[in-house]
Structure 1
Amino acid sequence: MRKITTDTCVDIELFQNDLKDIDPEFIPRIFSIFKMSMDQNDFLFMTDDATYAYGNVICEWLSLEHDPKRPQQIDILNGKKIIQVESGNEFVVVLTDDGLVYLASDDSDWQTNNTFRLISTGNDRFEMIACGCLHLLLLRQDGTVFALGDNCYGVLTGNSDSSYATLVNTGLNNVKIIACGGEHSLALTNTNQIYSWGCNKYGQLGLGDINDRTTPSLVSFPDGQIKNIVAGARHSLFLLEDGQIFGCGYGQPSINDNEPNAKVPTKIPIENVQSVACKNSFLFSFVLDHSSHYYQWGRKNNKKSVPLEKLDGQLKSFAAASAIVNKSPITFGLTSTFYTYESNNPISFIGLFNNPDNYDVEFIIGDKRILACKCYLKMASKYYSQMFSGDWQESNNRVVIDAYSYDVYYSYLRMLHTGQIQINQFNIAEFIDLANCYDDEELMKHCKSFIRIESKWNGLY
């Protein structure tokens, strides 16, 4: 099982201040982005044919010369498809689709020799990585968990010394998800069991005390199938399949008013949670519920705690939510990006889109659905005007879509409500087909604009 995506997509324009000096015609080529820290403008960019470094710090790690106008191609990753990127203090790690792990750093302990070092273990292949501040976890494809790096607080398990060259077997098997906080680690098995180890100063291990653990320890957890586990600097979060979310550690609400930090997984008062995000160096967290509302809580830069609160605005991603709280967007792992094309109509009807309180038709795509209003769609599109007229049976309010993917169809319907469409190299073919089938001239115009820019850059690099 590969890492659950935190943001399915993020508008590249969120990073316009960070990327303002780059040649603007390079921007639409980026289909994935990773920002290394909140305070530095250092990025990894993925295009359809290469991986690029941008920023003084990351370029120095890789013996590249930073150019504010042109990201630098990373030759050692040529031909590699990157599926996950994580980072810690002064190091960054990438996982490729063929199960290989590469690490770059300016810390001599990591022995990277100013390039991306292949973390090699013979024929071993990995399917997930997780970074703490000073250590790294790797999940092998057979479910075995390994650790690497500094062994502060026993995060490498046992009484092992720090290990930067040789992977340490944690003894955990049958694992499907791993996560790292600042100085602690988590693992979720295929049998729905959670193990934690490392620093426990604030109860972040969820074991009912504040004693550190040097070996993985089983966490007692309420009944319920666990969907995802994540960790912040000093806390841990557990998302259930039914939308409940639990937390423990620093800043997590305790059932005991005299305890400032929960020492066991304790329910956080929000329902129908769809996804959760936090980072190994931060004390705050974000969640997204099934009504597309974003919430945040925790503490920023050791300032006063912020209680659970809903963020204002029509946010589209965790990156957008983080920009409100921190004045600068954050990526939570490798994030797909889109270049937004806009129509001349500045009015947004987003309130009529995918609103569970106001809809009369649902589009079914696989096991997912998209909610909409027929009346508005008939006004916005000639195709839907024909679809919902004539022989359409009013009792049939479900439309099954099998010709297009969920993400493409969702983006198209959203365009009809907001005037914005998000295009990249992977969805352009579907959008062209949809534009032809639905006779949508506006969508076709945006597709042609994207192709023109892409063709120019393919000839330039």
Structure 2
Amino acid sequence: MARLPNENIDIELFQDDFKYIDQEFFPSVVSIFSFIFICYKEYLLITEEATFAYGEGICSWLSLKHDMAKPQRISCLDDMKIVQVDSGWNFVAIITDDGKVFIASDFYSKWKTNKTLQLISNDNDQFKMIACGDSHLLLLRQDGHVFAMGSNCYGQITGNKTSSYESMIHIDNLENVELIACGAFHSLSTTNKGKIYSWGLNHWGQLGYGDENKRNTPCLVPFPNSDSSCIKDIVAGMYHSLFLFENGQLWGCGSNYHGELGLSDNIGRSTPTKIPIENVQQIACSKFGRFSFAHDGSLYYAWGKTKHGPNWSSPRKLDDSHSSFASVSVQVLDSPITFGITSTIYKFGSHDSISYKSTFQLFDNQDNYDVEFIIDKKIIKACKYYLKSVSEYYRRMFSGNWSENNQVIINDYSYETYYAYLHMLHTGKIHITRQNITELVDLSNCYGDEKLMGYCKTFIRSDLNKHTISIYHPLIRKYEMNELHDKLIHLDQNHRQSSTKRSKFFKIFFV
């Protein structure tokens, strides 16, 4: 059991926030983390080589000088692989792939990190997950034990202990923990046996015990779902909690004043209640927000407090132009939010939305289709006539003996990749990532789509470096991408030279 992988977000969502930065910087950015500090957006921009701070707040926390035109390099993180970032009201926490946890905070906060990125874990403690509340931090160690720091004013750390901003407190009665999450002032966790625990502030019933009494030690949530052993994910908003199960059911409890539970009213629930949406795959909300997001694998849903007048008291299905929760947040909240560290993607294709406006109505339209593509028991609807007009491959497919075939089973490509390809044929745009590049290259070669192959080559060229050479070397060789050979050879030679130097160093050092 593990939290779902980080989302891929379109970097164009942040074009207004980054408009003063040299645009040549962005192709090197692989991940983004954004957070709010005193109404201002702050960012961490992560490349393969380094991590950069952007924003007056985060720069001041790290003794860096903010420059609107230039993100500031955090040199102490050079060559470290960051796997998770989270933030509270006036602090940010970072965890690396070797289990180290760092904190930076506002100079006037109680964390007292002295305008540096402070290491709070030691060599004996390796952590695999962090979660920040408004003013507290949970840390999940590799062995399943949980530790906490920060404010304990509502028992969100544990016990009758006072707040602890300088040392970690071990939460004694939690073992074999798999997931942790924080609302503003409450904490959640799940174990490898599927048990759900909560503690902290409970004024709105967000702990799920059927009352509004706070708990200062983790207590087992009496979940009404008999299949609660199959918990998939937990997230927490400011005053509500969401629980996602492997069967796609979503449950929630806590404040519902703004409709954040999606139950078509504004009445809170102090026991977990099923939210009327099925086949949910991913969920998101913010410890500082009163909204909820969900994704069923193809479409996104939102409910709760928005920036556009009345609250949405029940899940609202959004149009299929969205590809991430960050994209959804722009529509619902007017500003892109990254829910944790998120990988960047780049759009390829035409920017002429007018020319594709009518053809987009022919894609996956329940009321207008004559062929179904079936992938992993999922269906994508389309029109043969249009596909034949834009693709020689489909012209051949739907001619002769295939002309009357109304269903096509696809076994060679994943649903997500095939959906992205058909979406490109109707809209002119496609999102290419490291996760789908191999399938897209193979598909473009098999279908003879030179335009898609060109997009793939452009993506590979921009993403090809010493860290990704093992990913792209087989593709470049197999599909004879001759125009990329020079860069590949150059990187390969540098890699060999670097390896030779390291080998000589070790021989000298150890002999």
Could you say which TM-score interval applies, normalised by the shorter chain?
0.7 to 0.9
Aligned residue number for residue 382 of structure 1: 392
Cα gap change, 1:350/1:46 in structure 2, threshold over 3 Å: closer, same or farther?
farther
Cα gap change, 1:300/1:237 in structure 2, threshold over 3 Å: closer, same or farther?
farther
Shift of 1:451: 5.8
Shift of 1:232: 0.5
Shift of 1:21: 1.2
Aligned residue number for residue 184 of structure 1: 186
Whole-angstrom distance in 2 between the partners of 1:430 and 1:73: 35
Aligned residue type for 2:426: H
Aligned counterpart for 2:242 among listed residues 237, 244, 264: 237
Aligned residue number for residue 227 of structure 1: 232
Aligned counterpart for 1:414 among listed residues 416, 423, 426: 423
Asked if the contact 1:44–1:51 (Cα under 8 Å) also holds between the matched residues in 2, the reply is yes
Residue 142 (structure 1) aligned with residue 143 (structure 2): yes
Whole-angstrom distance in 2 between the partners of 1:157 and 1:300: 35
Which shifted more, 353-362 or 442-451?
A: 353-362
Asked if the contact 2:100–2:122 (Cα under 8 Å) also holds between the matched residues in 1, the reply is no
Aligned residue number for residue 90 of structure 2: 90
Q: Any idea what the Cα deviations from partners look like across 1:166-218, whole Å, max 9, x if unmatched?
A: 22111311111111000000011121211000001111101111111000011
Shift of 1:416: 2.2
Which shifted more, 157-166 or 375-384?
A: 375-384
SS in 2 for 1:60: helix
Aligned residue number for residue 347 of structure 1: 356
Whole-angstrom distance in 2 between the partners of 1:382 and 1:32: 37
**What are the equivalent positions in structure 2 for 1:212-291 lying under 5 Å apart?**
212-222=214-224, 223-224=226-227, 225-251=230-256, 260-290=267-297
Whole-angstrom distance in 2 between the partners of 1:257 and 1:326: 20
RMSD of aligned residue pairs (Cα, Å): 3.4
Of structures 1 and 2, the one scoring higher in RCO (CA 8 A, sep 6+) is 1
Shift of 1:40: 1.8
Shift of 1:55: 1.2
Aligned residue number for residue 44 of structure 1: 44
Aligned residue number for residue 24 of structure 1: 23
Asked if the contact 1:275–1:287 (Cα under 8 Å) also holds between the matched residues in 2, the reply is yes
Cα gap change, 1:283/1:293 in structure 2, threshold over 3 Å: closer, same or farther?
closer
SS in 1 for 2:202: coil
SS in 1 for 2:70: coil
Cα gap change, 1:385/1:172 in structure 2, threshold over 3 Å: closer, same or farther?
farther
Aligned residue number for residue 167 of structure 2: 166
**What are the equivalent positions in structure 2 for 1:204-215 lying under 5 Å apart?**
204-215=206-217
Aligned residue number for residue 10 of structure 2: 11
Whole-angstrom distance in 2 between the partners of 1:167 and 1:131: 14
Whole-angstrom distance in 2 between the partners of 1:256 and 1:385: 47
What stretches of structure 1 of length at least 5 have no aligned partner? none
Asked if the contact 1:283–1:300 (Cα under 8 Å) also holds between the matched residues in 2, the reply is no
Aligned residue type for 1:239: L
Asked if the contact 2:371–2:405 (Cα under 8 Å) also holds between the matched residues in 1, the reply is no
Asked if the contact 1:197–1:214 (Cα under 8 Å) also holds between the matched residues in 2, the reply is yes
Aligned counterpart for 2:338 among listed residues 324, 328, 331: 331
Cα gap change, 1:352/1:163 in structure 2, threshold over 3 Å: closer, same or farther?
farther
Cα gap change, 1:116/1:362 in structure 2, threshold over 3 Å: closer, same or farther?
farther
Whole-angstrom distance in 1 between the partners of 2:345 and 2:445: 21
Shift of 1:352: 5.1
Aligned counterpart for 1:397 among listed residues 408, 418, 422: 408
SS in 2 for 1:166: strand
**What are the equivalent positions in structure 2 for 1:297-376 lying under 5 Å apart?**
297-298=304-305, 305-310=311-316, 312-316=318-322, 317-343=324-350, 346-347=355-356, 349-350=359-360, 353=363, 360-362=371-373, 364=375, 371-373=380-382, 375=384, 376=386
SS in 1 for 2:23: coil
Cα gap change, 1:290/1:147 in structure 2, threshold over 3 Å: closer, same or farther?
same
Asked if the contact 2:262–2:276 (Cα under 8 Å) also holds between the matched residues in 1, the reply is no
Cα gap change, 1:132/1:221 in structure 2, threshold over 3 Å: closer, same or farther?
same
Shift of 1:155: 1.2
SS in 2 for 1:205: coil
Whole-angstrom distance in 1 between the partners of 2:454 and 2:237: 43
SS in 2 for 1:154: coil
Whichever of the two has the greater Rg, that structure is 2
Cα gap change, 1:407/1:121 in structure 2, threshold over 3 Å: closer, same or farther?
farther
Whole-angstrom distance in 2 between the partners of 1:2 and 1:288: 17
Asked if the contact 1:294–1:315 (Cα under 8 Å) also holds between the matched residues in 2, the reply is no
Higher normalized helix content (fraction of residues): 2
Shift of 1:325: 2.3
Asked if the contact 1:48–1:425 (Cα under 8 Å) also holds between the matched residues in 2, the reply is no
Cα gap change, 1:342/1:144 in structure 2, threshold over 3 Å: closer, same or farther?
same
Aligned residue type for 1:237: L
Which shifted more, 229-238 or 247-256?
A: 247-256
Whole-angstrom distance in 1 between the partners of 2:263 and 2:330: 33
Aligned residue number for residue 299 of structure 2: 292
Whole-angstrom distance in 1 between the partners of 2:393 and 2:114: 58
Asked if the contact 1:297–1:307 (Cα under 8 Å) also holds between the matched residues in 2, the reply is yes
